[in-house]
Amino acid sequence: MLKRWAPALLLTGCAATNTPPAPDFTAYVVLGEYGAAVARVLIDAPACPAIVLDQHSQPMTLRAPAQTIPLRPTPSAPADSKPADFPLLTCEATLPAGTTSATVLGRKLPLPKAAPTRIVVIGDTGCRLQKSSNSWQACNEAAQYPFATVAAQAAAWKPDLVIHVGDYHYRENACPDGNPGCAGSPWGYGWDAWDDDFFAPGARLLDAAPWIMTRGNHENCQRAGQGYWRFLDPRPLLPGRDCNAAADDDVGNYSDPYAVPIGQDTQLLVLDTANTTWKGLKPGDTGYARYQDHYRKLAALAQRAPRNLGISHHPLLGMGADSKADGRIVLLPGDAGLQASFGSLNPQLFPPQIQAMLSGHIHLWEQLSFSSGHPSQFVAGFAGTAEDIVPLPERLPPSPPPAPGAVVEHFSSWVDGFGFMTMERRGADQWDIEVHDLQGKIRNRCRLDGRRSACEVAQVR
Ligand SMILES: [Fe+2]
C-alpha cells in the first residue's frame, strides 16, 4: 500500500515533541447536483477533523461511522466472501461556491473552477481478482496494474476536473496461494481493498482536482455498492440507500441523474447505470422502468442548458469485441438493457442537447461519430484494469450497429494500451481530445465539434 503524506510528520520532522503525529488520512473533493462540491475525509480517528474554509474553521460532518457490515449476498460463494469492514470514519463538508481555500489537518484540498477547461477522463481502474472468471491480475506489478502511473501522469497534465467513468473496485476474491503477482492483496468489499484498488494508487490525481465519480457495475449493491455510497456518491448517505441489506437493493442500485455546470451554458450530466445488463431489459423488469424514469429526468436536466456532455459507465453507442471458442471474433454493440429502456422513449437514445457521451466498461479507448444524428461516443476504460485485448477492426462493418439505427461515420480505437484521455475546451461546442499513454505521450488526437468527432489515427498500435 502506498503511504500518503502525513503533514504533521513533515512539519515537525524528528524534533522531540509530545504532540502525536497527525494520522494518515485520505482526502478528496467530489462534485454533485448542480455542481455542489463536497470535501470528503476518510480517517481512523475518534471524531471527524475540522475543515478550514477561507481561514474559518468548522467541524466536518460524520457521513458514515467506522463499522463492519454483516455479510450480504454477493456474486461469490459465502466461502469466498466476507463482511465488509470499514474501520474508519467518512467525514464530509460542503464547500460553498466561491471558496478560495480549503484545508484539513494542514493538507490543501483541490477546489472546483466555475468554468473548467481541462478535463481528465479515466475509467475501469481497479485490479481484477475474480474467482468466477479465474482472473488474477498482477496487482503487485506496476506494468500489469498501472493505475498509480496513470494517476500520476494525469495529475502532471494539471486538470481542472477529473471524470471517473466508473468501475473502481475489482479485488473481489482472495489471490490464490502461490501467485506472486497478487500475493498479499486485500480482497472483498471493505476499506482495505478499496484503499489498495483506488484511493492509494489514485492519491496524486485525487489531490490534483475535484472529481466526478460515476458509478459502474462493479459498484452495484451486490458488489462494491457499500463503498460507493459511503465514499463516492456526492449526495447524502440515506438508510436503505447504502446497499447494506439485499432487501433494499431496488433502492440502492439506482440513483437519479444529476447535472454539473461547467461554464459557457454547458453541463455534464451524470448517469448511474450500475445495475443494467448487457442481456437486455424488457417491460416488467425493475430496471426497465427505473431507467425510463432516469431518461425522463436526464431529458429534463438537458433542457436546462443548450449543450451537455453525458457520462454513463456503460456505453450505449460503443463497440466491444469477444473471441469465441472456435476463434471467431464477434462484435458486441452497446448496452442492450439501456438501449431497450431509453429507446422505448426516444429511438435516438439521447436528448438532442447531448453533444457526446463519455463512458467506460469496455477496457480500451475508442471514439465513434455518427451520421445518424446520435451524439459522439468516447470510451475511456483503459486506466488500470486488465485490458480487453480482442482486436477491433480498423473500420466497423455496417452490421451489427452499436445501437439500432446508429450509422458510424468515424471510428477510432486503441486496444491493449493503458492510459488516460484528456479534453481541452476550444469553444462553446469544440473540444480537443487527446489519448495519452503511460509515459504521458500523446497517441491520438481528436476534435469534437457539436455532435461530430474525428481523430487523426483510426487504429492506435
Ligand atoms: Fe464495467
CA of 166 to the centre of ligand 1 (A): 7
The pLDDT value given to residue 22? 58
Interval between CA 382 and ligand 1 midpoint (Å): 11
Sheet holding 452-455, edge to edge: 61-64, 89-95, 37-43, 25-31, 211-213, 161-164, 118-122, 419-425, 430-437, 442-449, 452-455
Q: Torsion-angle region of residue 187: left (phi > 0), alpha (psi -120 to 50) or beta?
A: beta
The rounded Å distance from CA 18 to ligand 1 centre is 48
* Cβ 265 vs Cβ 305: under 8 Å: yes
Q: What's the 156 CA to ligand 1 centre distance in angstroms?
A: 26
Say yes or no to pLDDT of 4 above 80: no
Span from the CA of 275 to the centroid of ligand 1 (angstroms):
10
Q: Tell me how far the alpha carbon of residue 168 lies from the centroid of ligand 1, in angstroms.
A: 9
Ligand 1 geometric centre to CA of 430 (Å): 28
Residue 24 within a domain = no
Range of the domain at 93: 29-455
Report CA(97)–ligand 1 centroid distance (Å). Answer: 33
In this structure, is residue 15 part of a structural domain? no
Threshold 0.85, pTM exceeds: yes
From ligand 1's centre to the CA of 253, what distance in Å? Answer: 14
64 CA distance to ligand 1 centroid (A)? 26
pLDDT of residue 18: 61
C-alpha 443 – ligand 1 centre gap (Å): 24
Residue 17 pLDDT > 90, yes or no?
A: no
Residue 3, domain member (yes or no): no
In whole angstroms, give the CA distance from residue 233 to residue 237: 8
With a CB cutoff of 8 Å and minimum separation 6, the contacts of 14 are none
Letter string b/e over residues 104-116, b meaning 16 or more CB atoms within 10 A of that residue's CB: bbebebbbbeeeb
Q: Closest Cα to residue 124, out of 146, 142, 156, 143?
A: 146
Q: Does residue 16 lie within any of the structural domains? A: no
Q: How far is the CA of 222 from the centre of ligand 1 (A)?
A: 14
Question: What integer pLDDT is reported at residue 11 of this predicted model?
Answer: 38
Residue 257's CATH number: 3.60.21.10
| % of the chain residues with pLDDT over 70 | 95
**pLDDT over threshold 60, residue 5:** no
- Structural contact between residues 66 and 23, judged by C-beta atoms closer than 8 angstroms: no
Question: Does residue 148 have a pLDDT over 70?
Answer: yes
Q: How far is the CA of 169 from the centre of ligand 1 (A)?
A: 10
Q: How many domains does the chain have?
A: 1
Average pLDDT, the chain: 95
In a domain, 9, yes or no: no
pLDDT digits over 382-407, tens only?
Answer: 999 999 999 999 999 999 999 999 99
Measured in Å, residue 381 CA sits from the centre of ligand 1 at: 8
Is the residue at 91 inside a domain? yes
4 or 280: whose pLDDT is higher? 280
Q: How far does residue 123's CA lie from ligand 1's centre (Å)?
A: 9
Identify whether 460 is part of a domain.
no
| Structure confidence by residue, pLDDT tens digits, 367-380 | 999 999 999 999 99
How far apart are the CA of 42 and the centre of ligand 1, in A?
Answer: 25
Ligand 1 centroid to residue 91 C-alpha, Å? 28
Please tell me the predicted confidence (pLDDT) of residue 99: 97
Q: How far is the CA of 24 from the centre of ligand 1 (A)?
A: 31
Ligand 1 centroid from CA 313, angstroms: 7
Give the 3-state secondary structure of residue 344.
Answer: helix
pLDDT tier at 13, thresholds 50, 70, 90: very low
State residue 16's pLDDT score.
46
Q: Which residues of 403-436 are buried (b: 16+ CB within 10 A; e: fewer)?
A: beebebebbbbbbebbbbbbbebeeebebebbbb
Distance 94 CA to ligand 1 centre (A): 29
Alpha helices, DSSP H, located in 334-449: 336-345
**What's the gap in Å between 217 CA and the centre of ligand 1?**
5
- Distance, CA 235 to ligand 1 centroid (Å)? 22
Q: Residues within 5 Å of ion ligand 1 by Cβ?
A: 167, 216-217, 361
Q: How far is the CA of 106 from the centre of ligand 1 (A)?
A: 36
The 3-class SS string of 70-108 reads: CCCCCCCCHHHCCCEEECCEEEEEEECCCCCCEEECCEE
Question: What was the pLDDT predicted at 240?
Answer: 95
The reply to whether 23 falls in a domain is no
Distance 363 CA to ligand 1 centre (A): 8
